[in-house]
Amino acid sequence: MTKWEKIQHKIVSQEEASTIVNSWRDTDHEVVFTNGCFDILHRGHVTYLGKAATLGDFLVVGLNSDDSVRRQNKGEDRPINDEDSRALVLASLEFVDMIILFDNDTPEELISQLNPSILVKGADYDENERDEKSKKFIVGSEQVLENGGTVKTIDLEEGFSTTNLINKIKGA
């Protein structure tokens, strides 16, 4: 398989993801899951994903579909890059093992389906928050904890965000 084919094979359907993740878990591998829009990939994203990958054997990224991003009110021009482009850029990162597009507002269903060993979000969330209405609550954390997994947060790179980057490009 060529390097290009390997990159393309990292982007899978939810059904394919379940089969692959189950085979990883059956061989006692730790599966790390995170999610996001990853609209314009920048240093903050790469650092976050790289650190997430070190927490287990395989890093799975749930990627918000274009419609899902639009419903998050991130701005009328978002996403800047379409879902196929965002998935391909993420797949090119060596430490990302799988990308799954999801169309729901949250990855809760996908997390329940995959049952990862470790659920990861940025430190703008709180791994101990249990109030689902809190902005710091990590969706899917209850399912992961109930199944014997762990929930972790990773410090974010200060000053690096897609919104800041868009504003810089616009000269705002």
Domains of the chain: 3-170 (3.40.50.620)
Distance CA 131, CA 144 (A): 16
Total Cβ atoms within 10 A of residue 110 = 22
- Nearest Cα residue to 17 out of 2, 33, 39: 33
Render 117-147 in DSSP notation, one character per residue: SEEEEETTS-TT---TTSTT--TTHHHHHHT
Read off the pLDDT of residues 95-138 as tens digits, 9 standing for 90 and up.
999 999 999 999 999 999 999 999 999 999 999 999 999 999 99
Whole-model pTM: value is: 0.92
Residue 76 is predicted with a pLDDT of 77
pLDDT band at 172 (very low <50, low <70, confident <90, very high): low
